[in-house]
Structure 1
Amino acid sequence: MRKIPFFFILISCFAISQNKQLLYGFSEIPQSLLLNPGGKVTNDWYFGIPLLSHIHVNGGTSGTTVYDLFANDGINFNTKLKNAVYSMKPSDFLTFNEQIEVFSGGFKIGNAFEKNQYVSFGLYQEMDVIAYFPKDYAILAYEGNQSNINRVFDAGDFKASAEVISVFHVGYNKKVNDDFTFGVRGKIYSSIMNISSTKNNGYFVTVNGTNNFYDHIFNLDLEVQTSGIASLTADNTDSKTVVKDLKKRLFLGGDLGLGFDIGFTYQLNKQWMVDGSLQDIGFISHSKDVENYSVKGNYVFEGVNPIFPESGAGQTAENYWNDIKDNFNDLFIADTTYNKYTTWRPIKLNASINYAFGEKRSKVCDCLFDKSGYQNAVGLQLFAINRPLQPQLALTAYYYRRLFKGLQAKATYTIDSYTFHNIGFGISANLGPINFYLMADNFLEYQNIYNAQSVSLQLGFNYIFTKHED
């Protein structure tokens, strides 16, 4: 048996992280408060251009790339496929994440003497997918079981989940004094659809049989939980009904959940600063349109007898394979249940230390040229996200520069699960009250995008009123 479903290979060739190291700490961009509700605020009020204020997608791979499989380099494709199957690990993963902000805004509040508090709010849509490479499944599909007698294959290698949600949020930020700022953001999650299969266990093994050549032994504990999908895929569902239902779920009409973010910024001294945040501490309770499928128990499959003859009357090849299919269908009966379940949000950690330098001074009087603060900053940022198998980590070194009033830039160098040489660059520009930002990751890989370990893009437009420089 020398064929493997391309799905298992392709899902290992594209992986996307939720790390936004370019946006984190970029206080001139209002959306940075989504990463740290306790970050610095540099505007009196703003509103995001609907559907354009924050668009984020990024991708990459923790294992084999598309180029590794399909490059025109004279190496036989079967050899590349074999190398991919055996080089990847069960911990290699696909993740996909995108965010589109539907609307957002924020404004300062306080007394007549000082407005040291800030309220922000908005609604965004998010898709998040993660699937680990099912290595034992891939080896079994590639080699078959005849050459693997008595080898135990791990059925728990298959772990995957996917969800589409909308998030309505309200944040509160307070500048306690010149040194300390904290913030919190409350969230209401609305699940548009969800698929979860992350707690699978069991094994499969082929042994020499007694009534036939081989006995195929299965010990399985497999389950797939779904919500919001059955009604959309029903035979009697039309496209208008689907669109109407999706719109309803987008605006808090789906399965609901609660969560919050917390964060802070602390100025150690005039030039050193630390900050940190925890995002998405929360859950979603799935009770609407739920369908769960499970296969649990011990099974023994002895094959089909007799083997079909080459000619003459008797069992044909079609009869033979139909018998196998019928036997498998009878053996593996999936139980369907409609019990509600709960999914926990993937908690994210951000933390950084920052050193600012380079004040503008007049050559005439050796005094400050303006009060915009330091023009440069360097620092280190740690990112972590909780995942079903193990946390994913990233460490970023960055350089920030105020090029001139209304234009800032940030460059990053990131080490993460995908690569040790991810270089990113982002800018934020103000044209009057209109703010525009554009950020991209992994520039070194753009010369051959198919061989990229990771790529990322963020952009947005905001209307910002009375922006103050620190």
Structure 2
Amino acid sequence: MLYNFTTIPQSSLVNPGTDVSYKFYFGFPVLSGVSLNAGSSSFSAYDLFADNGVDFNDKVRDVINKSSRNDKVVTNQQLEIFTGGFRVGGRESRSYVSFGLYQEFDFFMYMPKDLALLALDGNKDYIGKMFHLNDLNVKAEVLSVFHVGFHKKMNDKLVLGGRAKIYSSGANAVSVHNSGYIYTSQEPGTPNLYNQVISSNLELKTSGIAPFTKDEYDGNIATDIAHNTFFNGSLGLGLDAGVTYYLKKNLQVTASIIDLGFVKQSKDIETLTYKGTYQYQGANPDFMNPDDPENVFDEFKKAIPRDTLYDKYTTWRPTKIYTSVEYSFGNYRSNEDCNCKQQVKERYRNAAGLQFFAMSAPREPLVALTAFYKRNIFEKLDVKATYTVDTFSSTNIGLGLSGTIGMVNIYALANNILEYKDISKASSAAFQIGINFVFQDSEE
């Protein structure tokens, strides 16, 4: 929704080469950009929490049975702490600097179907089935991002822009390079004898979390994570780049790459590993009874030990790619166009086009294709409507409004609005709101 919505200053966050102009602007602290985006490709909140008399465990089992290992749960939240931008040079300059600080939370998980089935039902009804441990694939991080950007309109056709970022990660957890399996079979003709093999190569890397798991910790987790995120986190660097090019006055193409960067996780590091192979032959082992006469539990712990490592590691940010083509039509002149002191710029009341989005993910990228229509309703009120086909829905209709009263710009964006009549049944939902103060030259 935000991409190429140029009446909103934050549009430069998703394309630093977007064609925007202003004397200067600054965002209302903490309220200039508030956004949340959540989606699941296999279930909705209603599937789990509907008051329909179905037992919760049965609901969970239905969700798992209907899902596949490639289904995803994704959440992204952003809170802009401060932001601003200004023209560099005189009135005729086409160069702009922007800056800001925002907090971000990312969560990404593939549905661990095999592990969920094993946890719910055990292996009694799955003799001969191999449960794959590489189904466990999850990433989560909370961080702050300080950024400085520059964009310049090179000529009437080309706009280029870039942005440098410093990441400060307050907490990170990642478990993506897992492999192994759990397999149980029966000896032919001996229904009470089993052959069970557990081959494990599991790894969970964490940064900024270890102190909270210690028995002696007596602080406030939320406060300490916030402190680490803004003042004492693991550091990283990133870049954004973008371009706008006008094939004709009313036909433009754009492209950008966002969050091409990394974080060197170095604060309060712990890596937990479970690596090894365990094989059992005989009556079904009882792992919950450490006093088993055959010492099954002790043998298992020796075969697949839990180790803790303290090596630093690097995580890559989820990189996003945007591109669009936009056709504008419906010329109009406003009262401001009658000012003879300035050159009149040809403007259009309508625009329509296509956008493409892709984001890196552990197995395959997330992609979306959007058709959009923008309309200038009044002098300072613009609306954008979208239809999106993505991983989570093929009927995602979005709506965005951007209005300016005096120097105050207020905007609100939301997608999947047809599901708002019962948001619990939506496979995805996203919104963003904000307030900015935008200043133009007096003649503009």
Q: Verify same fold: TM over 0.5.
A: yes
Alignment of structure 1 residues 17-96 onto 2, 5 Å: 22-71=1-50, 80-96=59-75
Q: Distance in 2 between matches of 1:282 and 1:113?
A: 34
Q: 2:332 aligns with which of 356, 360, 367?
A: 360
Would you say 1:440 and 2:414 are equivalent positions?
yes
CA contact (8 A) 2:37 2:430 kept: yes
Q: Distance in 2 between matches of 1:434 and 1:59?
A: 29
> How far 1:460 sits from its partner (Å)?
0.6
Amino acid at match of 2:354: L
Q: Deviations over 1:361-396 (max 9, x none)?
A: 69xxxxxxx856101100100000000011000001
Higher strand content, 1 or 2: 2
1:67 partner SS: helix
> How far 1:249 sits from its partner (Å)?
2.7
Q: Distance in 2 between matches of 1:351 and 1:32?
A: 13
> How far 1:61 sits from its partner (Å)?
1.8
Aligned to 1:170: 148
Amino acid at match of 1:256: L
Aligned to 1:218: 198
Cα 1:152–1:42 shift into 2, 3 Å: same
Aligned to 1:98: 77
1:251 partner SS: helix
Aligned to 1:396: 370
Q: TM-score, normalised by structure 2?
A: 0.90
Q: Deviations over 1:380-434 (max 9, x none)?
A: 0000000001100000111111111221111111100111111111111112111
The sequence identity of aligned pairs, in percent, is 45
> How far 1:72 sits from its partner (Å)?
5.4
Q: Distance in 2 between matches of 1:271 and 1:176?
A: 18
1:148 partner SS: coil
Cα 1:76–1:338 shift into 2, 3 Å: closer
> How far 1:253 sits from its partner (Å)?
2.4
Q: Distance in 1 between matches of 2:152 and 2:285?
A: 78
CA contact (8 A) 2:170 2:230 kept: no
Supply the RMSD in Å over aligned alpha carbons: 2.8
> How far 1:28 sits from its partner (Å)?
1.0
> How far 1:323 sits from its partner (Å)?
6.7
1:137 partner SS: helix
Would you say 1:343 and 2:315 are equivalent positions?
yes
Aligned to 2:268: 289
CA contact (8 A) 2:19 2:244 kept: yes
Cα 1:446–1:229 shift into 2, 3 Å: same
Cα 1:426–1:303 shift into 2, 3 Å: farther
Q: 1:380 aligns with which of 354, 358, 370?
A: 354
Runs of 5+ in structure 2 lacking a partner? 335-343
Q: Distance in 2 between matches of 1:175 and 1:469?
A: 20
Between stretches 138-147 and 68-77, larger displacement belongs to 68-77
Q: Distance in 1 between matches of 2:22 and 2:293?
A: 69
2:440 partner SS: strand
Amino acid at match of 1:422: N
Q: 1:253 aligns with which of 200, 221, 232?
A: 232
Would you say 1:119 and 2:97 are equivalent positions?
yes
